[in-house]
Amino acid sequence: MLGPWLTTPDEIPDPGQLALSIKVNGETRQDAHTSDLILKVPELIAWGSSFYTLYPGDVLLTGTPQGVGPVRPGDVMLASIERIGSMRSRSHEQNSADHRGGELSAAKLADRPRQARLEGAAAAGAGDLAVEDAWLEEAQDDATLLAIRDMERAGIDIITDGEMRRESYSNRFATSLGGVDLRDPGTTINRSGARAMVPRIRGPIVRSRPIEVRDVQFLRANTDREIKITLPGRSPWRSRRRTTTTTTKRPSPSPMPTR
């Protein structure tokens, strides 16, 4: 959500010290702080302007903190930024039958039998769209193509994959590494005081294969614009992991044999 006002530097001299939050129907979904940014706002502006000319009215979007999730028609979202204010918005059903959400509309680019399976899953009340494992990668490719085309139509200069392959970019990266327990995730307390699931680390972290190379290749093959891919930095790893140490008790020595 953007607008409806602009905030000038004299009102907020340090944009790196602002709390951000989003609530959906009163439930906190995202709770973060601009101090968590790896590159601060001045650095982001300098980096962006090294690639292209920035004009009045241009917007730099810096990504989103943990807590991304679906919203449904009728949901009320409240976005707040410290010292700026809050904006309330209600989610509405889109008019186009071919645009009922990013993942579901991906079916429109696929063959008819698979489209029927996807629509059947949604009609059955699957909530987040359920896709059979055999079709998952292709469905994610379709959704990514839609995200790319939407960004191109919107005039965005640097295209991403829309993060269509992951709910959490940090978890997708973490669970591809060795040393992370996929069956027994841990929990930690997030900024809002609620418990959140995080990867549980049980051993040395090992990268045994490329993790997002294929995502970059797909993105590069489907747009002629500048591209970028999202990788988690130090902050997500510090705050979104649980380390478990397993202690093995040594057996007691056997008694010496006696005659």
User: How is the chain split into domains, by residue range?
Assistant: 1-93, 94-156, 166-244
- Name the more confident of 54 and 128: 54
Is residue 4 reached through a cis peptide bond, with omega within 30 degrees of 0 on the bond before it? yes
Among 53-57, 58-62, 220-224, 255-259, which is the least confidently predicted range? 255-259
Q: How far apart are CA 249 and CA 28, in angstroms?
A: 43
The whole-angstrom distance between residue 89's C-alpha and the CA centroid of its chain comes to: 21
Burial class (CB in 10 A: 0-12, 13-18, 19+), 103: buried
Pairing of strands 76-81, 85-90: antiparallel
Q: What is the mean pLDDT of the chain?
A: 75
**DSSP state letter for 163:** T
Half-sphere exposure of 152 (CA within 13 A, CB side): 14
CATH number of the 1-93 domain: 3.90.850.10
In 133-162, which positions are buried (b, 16+ CB within 10 angstroms) versus exposed (e)?
Answer: eeeeeebbbbbbbbbbeebeeeeeeebbbb
pLDDT for 240 equals 52
Q: For residue range 25-52, list pLDDT tens digits in order.
A: 999 989 999 988 888 888 988 988 888 8
Q: How far apart are CA 118 and CA 106, in angstroms?
A: 9
Q: What is the DSSP string of 65-103?
A: -S------TT-EEEEEETTTEEEEEE----S-TT-S-HH
Q: Strands (DSSP E) along 172-239, which ranges?
A: 178-189, 195-206, 226-227
Report in angstroms the alpha-carbon separations of 164 from 39, 69, 132, 215, 246.
Answer: 24, 12, 16, 10, 36
CB 219 within 8 A of CB 161: yes
Kindly tell me if the per-residue pLDDT of 19 is higher than 90.
yes
Count each helix (H run) and each strand (E run) in the chain, helices first: 7, 9
Q: How far apart are CA 103 and CA 129, in angstroms?
A: 7
Q: What share of the chain in percent tops pLDDT 90?
A: 18
Q: How far apart are CA 66 and CA 168, in angstroms?
A: 7
pLDDT for 227 equals 94
In 181-199, which positions are buried (b, 16+ CB within 10 angstroms) versus exposed (e)?
Answer: eeeebbeeebbeeeebebb
Query: What global pTM score does this model have?
Result: 0.49
pLDDT for 111 equals 35
pLDDT for 130 equals 63
Q: For residue range 134-188, list pLDDT tens digits in order.
A: 888 888 899 899 999 999 998 888 999 888 887 666 777 877 888 888 788 788 7
